[in-house]
Amino acid sequence: MNGDPAPNWAEEYEIIMGSDIDLDGMYLEARSRTDHTQVVLFAFYSDVDGTMTFEPHDDQLPPDFVAWFRTEATRRLPPVDG
């Protein structure tokens, strides 16, 4: 970054984490705070095969937000041993 403070993504996006028992995995989704019904980015970790998938639903998202979201999904969704 160029010395500017990191954006506060919570002002623009609501982040929701959940479990999908039918698909056997965990998900993280970002919803626009201006339209709470619109999922703008979705990540899913499959407990079946250990894969992570990302689905952008908005091609105008800030690249820094997409990178942050991917990092958060990778950190938060897989199971933790121990």
Supply the pLDDT for residue 38: 87
**Does the residue 3 lie in any domain?**
no
Confidence of residue 6 (pLDDT cuts 50, 70, 90): low
- State residue 34's pLDDT score: 87
The parent domain of residue 35 ranges over 9-76
Task: Classify residue 15: in a domain, yes or no.
Answer: yes
d(CA 57, CA 7): 21
Q: Is residue 33 part of a domain?
A: yes
Determine, yes or no, domain membership for 82. Answer: no
Number of domains the chain is built from: 1
pLDDT tens string 16-72: 999 999 999 999 999 998 887 789 999 999 999 999 999 999 889 999 999 999 999
Q: Identify whether 2 is part of a domain.
A: no
Q: Which residues of 26-43 are buried (b: 16+ CB within 10 A; e: fewer)?
A: bbbbbbbeeeeeebbbbb
Q: Decide if 81 is inside a domain.
A: no
